[in-house]
Structure 1
């Protein structure tokens, strides 16, 4: 586990280097064919989970495109940094991290939403049942374990503390620690941390075990919203437009398939994917899956969901508002599934 101050500095330094790194790395992003598009997309997965591109590939939506797994990540900011530097061809993160990366001149663009919060899919801040922590002020001086800093969980914590009446000095007294998601529940039960951020199948598995209770959730704070997007570099999109369109449209189809298919069938398919890919994972937690939580049809990116984090980052002093232009952050033009739905207003569309 890393301390808040040191890990935050490392995170901000990493993003501060993104301009140089992306400028050097994107040339290696995806080998293009003579017909104008790579047929292989390199990516990072998440242990024990089936991400939407993996589901899309298994459903046949990627057609002749192939995914090439290069390893797993536990951090959205790390994943999109890898995309910006050309180590992978797409990466996904909390929208605030996407804004932060773009503000530091990384040539990336959000192309589709892939996770969010709804009544089934949400991240919660959990404490032990007998914990004295009941409200925002009780978190002063307490240890909160989350998968990474400068991203979704830290943003939710800041909003909760602010709404609880804490000033900046008291907010800074909360100790945010980086804990791998697969170890977070255990760290809470062993009292190495006071609060654990849990989401998805790991959350539901912990709740089924018992002995913990929620302090708050991101759904409590903001209602239903898409929280993170997949990004690709501008260069990749320019060199591989057909590939990008196939990929984004396929992910959009997978989102809609997961919504319209009986939950047991979705879980069965995910379990089969995990077993077949042979990465030494436990598929058991997948039985708790309920939703990806994407708010917009087929993962269409809504400008308001990025503007929220422009305002948040600017309020924290992490960026200046003039560093980013909202229309430059995202595009929906590669998402044929969302275009076909026709249910999202023009006011939220990308350029």
Structure 2
């Protein structure tokens, strides 16, 4: 019918009409491929002087038409995911141990994409002064160790270090943990307020440049290269906003993959620009020390093993009952752009 209508039309008109029809068809296909989003604004907390992968995803254009709403900065992973549980934000991230404990307490959240971890360039180290008599785990009995937050990554790694080196639970309790903001950890150690401090990233590199410190151990000494934590969403959020949830997590996973594959100097340059443009009156100098994502799997795909190690630890510490939780109770990869079975590698 269309061909008959065009039969007598000039060739130029013929071509224009066909082009218009093809364009309309492409728009229709795109509309079918991109379901309407139930929610277009995502509330989140940031970190001072850092760029989260959620923020990077927005800057790369992977979240559009989603918009982020920054509600302030967090000081720790446990605090961040607690605000997810209370509904004050839509997405937050923390160490797997903190996530598992919340889920064990019946918090309705689910880990959706791994966002941080440790490798040869990005790790958490436990440092003493160079002339410190502390040489072994047993030397920590009766000593003070600075961590950023109680019940988070640094505490669990320390307790694993003590256990692997033969300290009994009673002896381990004699090692005192002191919650100190990371930026104050080096000063607390040098002034003698604590005997050991934990340092990572720019804080670690700057402290080592100043000299006088010695590494006692690092989380990679215990676990090798590993993913340490994940972003979480409320289960109700996922149920009520399936398209928005997929768009959000796919965008974040793509941003992680971009940072994994892009030369570090390009990642740093983008981070510096993002910080400058958001105008939060913060120090961007730590960005020049950024070296890697620390995330082992492409796009933060989560695996059973990286979750099971923390479930086992909590069982051993009698915070969980044997067989109380399985990795499948903790996470899902169904929203990840690189989820198993999805042909995303060519994109």
Structure 2: gaps of 5 or more residues: 1-34
The 2-side partners of 1:343 and 1:96 are apart by 30
CA distance in 2, matches of 1:36, 1:64: 9
Q: Deviations over 1:7-66 (max 9, x none)?
A: xxxxxxxxxxxxxxxxxxxxxxxxxxx955211111111111111111111111112111
What CA distance in whole angstroms lies between the structure 1 residues aligned with 2:198 and 2:48? 17
Matched, 1:261 2:262: yes
Instruction: Name the counterpart of 2:302.
Output: 301
Change (3 A) 1:94 1:342: farther
- Distance in structure 1 (CA, Å) of the matches to 2:40 and 2:90: 11
Deviation at 1:184, TM superposition (A): 1.3
Q: How does 1:81-96 map to 2 (within 5 A)?
A: 81-96=82-97
Give matches, 1:28-177, under 5 Å.
35-177=36-178
**Larger radius of gyration, structure 1 or 2?**
2
Q: Could you tell me whether the CA contact under 8 Å between 1:36 and 1:239 is conserved in 2?
A: no
CA RMSD of aligned residues (A): 1.8
**Are 1:252 and 1:298, in contact at CA under 8 Å, matched by a contact in 2?**
yes
Give the Cα–Cα distance (whole angstroms) in 1 for the partners of residues 344 and 246 of structure 2: 19
Deviation for aligned residue 1:342: 6.5
Question: Over residues 152-187 of structure 1, what are the superposed CA-to-partner deviations in whole Å (9 max), with x where a residue is unaligned?
Answer: 111110111111111111100000011111211221
Question: 1:322 Cα deviation (Å)?
Answer: 3.9
Deviation, structure 1 residue 148: 0.6
Give 1:338 deviation, angstroms: 3.8
For 1:206 and 1:285, locate their aligned partners in 2 and report how far apart those are by CA, in whole Å. 12
Distance (Å, rounded) in 1 between the aligned partners of 2:283 and 2:108: 37
When structure 1 is superposed on structure 2, of 145-154 and 184-193 the one drifting more is: 184-193
- Residues 297 and 341, structure 1, Cα contact 8 Å, conserved in 2: no
In structure 1, what is the Cα distance between the partners aligned to 2:343 and 2:125? 33
- TM-superposed CA distance for 1:308, in Å, is 1.0
CA contact (8 A) 1:188 1:196 kept: yes
Q: CA deviation at 1:325?
A: 3.4
Aligned residues: 311
In structure 1, the residue corresponding to 2:338 is in which secondary structure? helix
2:318 counterpart residue number: 317
2:29 is aligned to: none
163 and 300 in structure 1: CA distance in 2 versus 1, 3 angstrom threshold: same
CA distance in 1 between counterparts of 2:153 and 2:133 reads 25
- Cα distance in 1 for partners of 2:296, 2:225 equals 6
**Distance in 1 between the 2:66 and 2:184 partners?**
34
Q: Where in structure 2 are the equivalents of 1:260-299 lying within 5 Å?
A: 260-299=261-300
In the alignment, which residue of structure 2 is the partner of 1:334?
335
Unaligned runs of 5+ in 1: 1-33, 345-351
Secondary structure at 2:151's aligned position in 1? coil
